[in-house]
Every structure is written in structure tokens, then in C-alpha cells.
Amino acid sequence: MTARALTVLGATGSIGLNTLNVMARHPDKYRAVALSANTDVQKMLGLCREHRPRYAVMRDEAAAGQLRDALKGASLNIEVMSGEQGLREVATLPEVDTVMAAIVGAAGLLPTLAAAQAGKRILLANKEALVMSGALFMDSVKKHGAQLLPVDSEHNAIFQCLPPTFGDGLERIGVKRILLTASGGPFRTRELASLHEVTPDQACAHPNWEMGRKISVDSATMMNKGLELIEACWLFNATTDTVQVIVHPQSVIHSMVEYVDGSVLAQLGTPDMRTPIANALAWPERIDAGVSGLDLLRVGRLDFEPPDFARFPCLRLAYDAISAGGAATTVLNAANEVAVDAFLKRKLPFTAIASVIEHTLGRIHGTSAEVLEQILEADERARREARAFVAATMGH
């Protein structure tokens, strides 16, 4: 078989690095044509040395200029691009058949949408593309014959537990409900009254997964599960009544699907993102991901509990947003990004993240999300409102 040609959007993040790790194990099957990064020139230079892509994209022209100079010094002939235009270009290259969409946050929406419109095979690790523009994105996938394979461990698990015909409707294949598992993050049992003292480093110390800082904070607030709930509804054409969030602290069962005959199918594995990445890369085949096997005797027990909405108000807000419809999930995502950024910069206490989101959802509602312009406008309005609320809350 001819090697799959990939663009890896977000190559220097944890998903991007794990993707390149799996690809490097199978050089006969995969090659990196293009890599993109935010601003980390040194890390990108290292990846360019190792994987020799034809193209590299940096977020802004300043970082792109630094990378050009560094590549020249290293005698590497790689074309460097920058910004939104560069990202869209590498997401739609004719020689690329597969796009790993792993840019964190709203920044990943436009290049991922461009990949869908170009009919690519999309390995979706950027949940915000669906959270912000679910109907628009799924319509583009169908209209342009793109292929969408979920990389989030939970959605990949659900995907593995469903027959290939799930797109025809869950009822038609006998699905009763989807059980979306959540670890509960680092503060599942912490004293509620002490949560306002939480530091960014504590919030980023996930008990089971190694992730970037933004997604680690989302896991600590359970907003990550809220975003995944919204994503699951779009990916699998489900309603919130069909998707149940269940806390499973061991993170061994990555999600489950219950059928009307009483069967429950679960996908289990060691908490390592290389498993869902390898599954999406090779689908419908299987390849070695370099992951250590699951030792159930060592795990010993599997626990489950319902989510505590008093402890995790962000999860409740996600349910509210998807029920509200329109651009509410876009507003939710934008406000969350602003609040998490402020928390990571120590400008906002941990417990105020939910307050910022709730305030913003209350101020911006009833907006449509039928076309891209409406989605981007709602996103921008929400960010302005959230930033103003953060500044007012912190007294500056």
C-alpha cells in the first residue's frame, strides 16, 4: 500500500507529538508532508530535522521568520508559511490525504473546516471544531465526502463499540445509550471549600493522563467532559438524553455503548493517547502503537459514580448550552478559553472559571449558528464579554 501522506496540525502539542511517534514506528505506512505549530520554533526545528516535512507553518510571521533562518542554518529545504492562510493551505494540499486536527481551541476550527471542504480524511482531536460549529462542520463532511475519525479517547472508544452503519441513526442499530466516561480529574475528592485556593500546577497534575495545560484545566473543571458531550452528540447524531456522563476514576474503560438487548460494549486500555491515534491512523486496520498492555490484575478494580454538578458546575453549563441551541456552545467554548487562560496566568481563581462562563452565556444568547460568519461573530463577542467580566471581577 502507498504510504498515507499527513498534515499534522498542532505538531508540537501532546497529540501532535504522539501522532508523530506512532507514525515513526511505521515509516512504510505514513509520511509527514506538513507540520504546524504555534510559536515554539526550537521544538518545530527538532521535528523538521526528524521528520523532514515539505512544509512547516507557524502561527505568526515573526516565528515563521525565525524558523526559516534556523532551517537555513541546518541546511533543511522546507517551505515555511504562517498564520491562518498557511494552516488552510497545508490542510488542503492535493498530495495530503489525511489531516490530524490537533490544534487546541477555537484556533483549530478554520483549518479543520477547510480540510473537510477539501474532502480529506480527518483525524479529529480538536473538539472545539464541533463544539463551535457542529451542524456546519458535519454538513461540510457529508457534502464534500470527507471522512471523520475521532481521536479523543472517549469518542474513539464509542466509535470502536459501534457498527460502521451508526451514521444511519443510533435507534436503527439498537443503541439505547452512550456511556461517556470521565476520570473526575485531580479534584474529584478534594474539599469543596478549598477549591478556590487551587494553583495552575495543581490543576494541571492529572492523575492518569499526560496532556497540555489548557485541556488539563478543562479536565479539572470537567468542562472537558462538557465539550466531549457536545462533540459526541454531533459525531454520533445523539441527543443529551442518549449520552450519559459517568465518573470512572481509573480511566481504564474509555467509554461504553449500551444496546437495547442489554449488551454493554466497552473499550478498555492503558491511558495512553497513542492507542486512539493509532486506531484512527490505521482504521479499519490495526497497527502497533508502542503502548504497554493493560494488566487488569494490577488495576484490580473499576469504580463508577455519577458526576457531582455542585463540584463541577462547568459540566452543567455545557448541558445548558447544548439545550439552548444556536451559537450557545460557541459562546460556552469562547468564555471557557478566556477564563482558563486567565486562571493559568493567575489572574482568576479556579472557582471563578464557571462564573465567567455562566455570566457570558447569560449576556449572549439567542444567536444563530447557521453560517460561519455568525459563529465567528458569536465567538468574538463572547471573548470580549468574558474578558471584561474577568477584568471587573479582578478589579482591573
Which residues make Cβ contacts (< 8 Å) with residue 252, sequence separation at least 6?
Answer: 268, 269, 270, 271, 294, 296, 299, 302
**What pLDDT score was predicted for residue 13?**
92
- Over residues 73-118, the pLDDT tens digits come to 999 999 999 999 999 999 999 999 999 999 987 789 999 999 999 9
CATH 3.40.47.10 fits 4-150, yes or no: no
CA pseudo-torsion sign 77, 81, 87, 88: negative
Q: Tell me, rounded to whole angstroms, the distance of Cα 173 from its chain centroid.
A: 27
Only one residue has cell 459526541, namely 232
**What pLDDT score was predicted for residue 71?**
96
Mean pLDDT of the chain: 94
> Model pTM?
0.93
Only one residue has cell 483549530, namely 108
Classify residue 237 as left (phi > 0), alpha (psi -120 to 50) or beta.
left
114 backbone dihedrals φ, ψ, rounded to 5°:
-65, -40
Helices (H) and strands (E) in the chain, counts: 16, 11
Say whether pLDDT at 303 is over 60: yes
**What pLDDT score was predicted for residue 1?**
63
**Cβ(256)–Cβ(248) below 8 Å:** no
Residue 24: band (very low, low, confident or very high) from pLDDT cuts 50, 70, 90: very high
